[in-house]
Amino acid sequence: MAAPRQPSHRASRIRGDRPAEPSRAPLPEPEQVADPARPRHLVDHGLAIRGIVERIRTGDLLLREEHTDADDYLLRAARNHGEATERPCPLCRSEELVHVTYVFGDELGPYSGRVKASAELPVMAYEHGFFRVYVVEVCTSCRWNHITLDYVLGDGVPRRPIRRPADLLD
């Protein structure tokens, strides 16, 4: 005999069941931040990139395959939302190297992990207490990809996560 089916998300809405309320644990103490839009806890991965490129040029093919494996979502983000750089690709020397900027943070709720334009980041820094920014360089020709920078932005005032809108698709 088959196990009884679990109620679907839609059925729970029809019955009027409400999802569990988010935790009401106390928020951490605010952090003193002089300028929310100024990057802090900055990590520059330039030295690591140079080391990888040198090892690839000396013939480490496994490393080349590992760093030229940009998946289709990253390439699509690079083509549609990437910001052109003035640097050529370190491997194929093409001029198609772009930066894709991702934001992550508990306060962002369902919007964590989204691609953002660099012009949006200062505005977000004043709206949120703490979120991490990752800048990935991507070559749309040879599929090279590597994290270039990561840093933290925000005004230091902890906030509850943004609630998931009812019309947001999974």
44 found inside a domain: yes
| Three-class SS state of 22 | coil
Percent of the chain residues topping a pLDDT of 90 = 43
Give the dihedral sign, CA 84/87/88/91: negative
78 found inside a domain: yes
- List, in order, residues 6 or more apart from 63 with CB less than 8 Å away: 52, 55, 56
Q: What is the pTM of this model?
A: 0.78
pLDDT, tens digit (0-9, with 9 covering 90-100), for 146-158:
999 999 999 888 8
| Three-class SS state of 11 | helix
166 found inside a domain: no
Give the model's pLDDT for residue 64. 76
Q: 48: closest CA among 69, 65, 70, 63? A: 63
Average pLDDT over residues 133-155: 93
Look up tokens 């947001």; give the residue: 168
169 found inside a domain: no
Total domains in the fold of the chain: 1
| Three-class SS state of 54 | helix
Assign 13 a pLDDT band (cuts: 50, 70, 90): very low
Give the model's pLDDT for residue 15. 45
Average pLDDT over residues 46-75: 85
Contact 133, 102 (CB under 8 A): yes
100 found inside a domain: yes
Q: What is the mean pLDDT of the chain?
A: 83
Least confident of 58-72, 73-87, 99-113, 137-151: 58-72
60, pLDDT greater than 80: no
| Three-class SS state of 24 | coil
Q: 77: closest CA among 168, 145, 149? A: 145
Separation CA 50–CA 69 (nearest Å): 18
pLDDT, tens digit (0-9, with 9 covering 90-100), for 79-130:
999 999 999 998 888 888 999 999 999 989 888 999 999 999 999 999 998 9
Type of residue numbered 166: A
Host domain of residue 94 = 37-153
Give the model's pLDDT for residue 94. 84
160 found inside a domain: no
pLDDT, tens digit (0-9, with 9 covering 90-100), for 24-38:
778 777 778 788 889
Of 2 and 24, more confident: 24
3-state helix, strand, coil in the chain (%, to 5): 30, 20, 50
Work out the burial of residue 47: count CB atoms within 10 Å of its CB; fewer than 13 is exposed, 13-18 middle, 19 or more buried. Answer: exposed
